Each structure stands twice: as C-alpha cells, then as structure tokens.
Amino acid sequence: MNQREALRETIELARANGMDNCTSDIPELDFPHLVSMYDRIIAADVTSTPFSEAKIGRWLGWAQAAVVMHGEASLEDMKALNMKWSDK
C-alpha cells in the first residue's frame, strides 16, 4: 500500500471539506498537526532516514481518525481511499 499517498489524499480530502478552518480542544487532532505529520514523513524520506512502514501506517490511521472525528469524511470514505492506494 502506498501509505504516503493515502495520507496525502486524506489531507487533501480534509482541506476540501473545510477541516483546515476547524479547531478542537486537542491540537493533535487538528489540520495543522496532520500536515506536520505528512511533512515529517516526507522530510525523513529526503534525508534517507525514512520512517518504517509500520509507523507510517499508525500515523495514517491517526490522521484518518482525526478527519472522521471532525466529521469531514466517513469511515467508509477512509476505507475506499485506502483501497484505492492498496495496490500501488
């Protein structure tokens, strides 16, 4: 599965649905944190110290849970997005 692309698309979906204009009492669930997570993954790739696929998977799950929690997408939306990237 291309988890990096799944995370990138998760963030795009969140932005398209207005999550970038929302906040919560838990900053780690807010849009800027999700973008920061993605940026850190890409930065690690560039410096040749990539995160493990297991860690990226945990971060993807966190980001998708945050998007669902904010009401910007459903669990079914996340499943479909993951299926899209599962064979790439």
- pLDDT, tens digit, 9 for 90 and up, residues 40-67: 999 999 999 999 999 999 999 999 999 9
Residue range 27-41: average pLDDT? Answer: 97
What the block records as the tokens of 50 is: 């990539």
Structural domain of 58? 3-86
- Environment class of 81 (CB within 10 Å of its CB; exposed 0-12, middle 13-18, buried 19+): buried
pTM for the whole thing? 0.93
Q: Which amino acid is at 50?
A: P
Cα distances from 57 to residues 25, 42, 53, 65, in angstroms, run 25, 14, 6, 12
Which residues lie closer than 8 Å to 12 by C-beta, 6 or more apart? none
pLDDT of residue 88: 65
**Residue 78 to residue 85: CA distance in whole angstroms:** 11
How many CB atoms are closer than 10 A to CB 59?
Answer: 19
